[in-house]
A and B are shown apart, each in its own frame.
Chain A
Amino acid sequence: DAKTTQPNSMESNEEEPVHLPCNHSTISGTDYIHWYRQLPSQGPEYVIHGLTSNVNNRMASLAIAEDRKSSTLILHRATLRDAAVYYCILRDVRSGGYQKVTFGTGTKLQVIP
């Protein structure tokens, strides 16, 4: 499986934008980039995913580098509720589903009031 690398932790002030980076230099052409987040005492929650183009939804934006070797999850205005561990994972659409995908340790985001 292609691997991802994320910083262990980041801090942001409340109502400021947050940019969470992810490196995936060995990504293959059939890998989608997915982001999940895990709030304390909860299961992971889907945030966003993309293949090549930047993506926006109600929760966040995903900016994908032109060479696809890195991506950035953007939270436009951090709230206290956004404090969580954010995971960047790669999903090979050829294999279907999430077989044998390792989440890694993710980035723990702390939001400061």
Chain B
Amino acid sequence: DAGVTQSPTHLIKTRGQQVTLRCSPKSGHDTVSWYQQALGQGPQFIFQYYEEEERQRGNFPDRFSGHQFPNYSSELNVNALLLGDSALYLCASSLERGEQFFGPGTRLTVL
């Protein structure tokens, strides 16, 4: 089992651009959650997807959007990038009420 995988590993963008991050969940998992982790801080919950729908959302603006596909993989999209969006973006998968397994993250740098 490959566990949770994320792509790309690193990404550099400029302010105002848009970015798409991808996540493949652990085999058999149907729920995907996304987190943002700024340097030196703990992960902050962005949103969670189950059955291709956003179920819950943290305190993030509408510039942050997502999608879940029928195979349970997921994308995180961020529009109109700001310098403050520079962070490690973590994807976690789980069964609906089970423990979360995290991927290694995508390091996004906004210049």
> B90 to A97, Cβ gap below 8 A?
no
Central interface residue in A44, A45, A49, A95, by most chain B CB within 10 Å: A44
Name the CB-closest residue of A to B31: A97
Contact count band on A: 20 to 34
Q: Which A residues are CB-close (under 8 A) to B55?
A: 97, 99
> B97 to A100, Cβ gap below 8 A?
no
Count residues of chain B with CB under 8 A from any CB of chain A: 26
> A96 to B96, Cβ gap below 8 A?
yes
Which of A21-29, A64-72, A102-110 lies at the interface with chain B?
A102-110
> A105 to B40, Cβ gap below 8 A?
yes
Q: Is B102 an interface residue (CB 8 A)?
A: yes
> A44 to B43, Cβ gap below 8 A?
yes
> A105 to B43, Cβ gap below 8 A?
no
Q: Which A residues are CB-close (under 8 A) to B4?
A: 43
Contact check: which of B42, B94, B104, B105 meets A97 at CB < 8 Å?
A: B94
Central interface residue in A95, A98, A100, A102, by most chain B CB within 10 Å: A98
Q: Is A93 an interface residue (CB 8 A)?
A: yes
> A97 to B33, Cβ gap below 8 A?
yes
With both chains docked as a complex, state the minimum distance between the C-beta of A96 and any C-beta of chain B, in angstroms: 5
> B104 to A42, Cβ gap below 8 A?
yes
Q: Is B103 an interface residue (CB 8 A)?
A: yes
Q: Which A residues are CB-close (under 8 A) to B104?
A: 41-43
With both chains docked as a complex, state the minimum distance between the C-beta of B51 and any C-beta of chain A, in angstroms: 13
With both chains docked as a complex, state the minimum distance between the C-beta of B4 and any C-beta of chain A, in angstroms: 7
With both chains docked as a complex, state the minimum distance between the C-beta of A41 and any C-beta of chain B, in angstroms: 8
Given contacts A43-B90, A44-B43, contact A97 B102 (CB under 8 A): no
B contact set with A: CB distance below 8 Å? 4, 31, 33, 40-45, 48, 50, 55-56, 58, 90, 92, 94, 96-97, 99-105
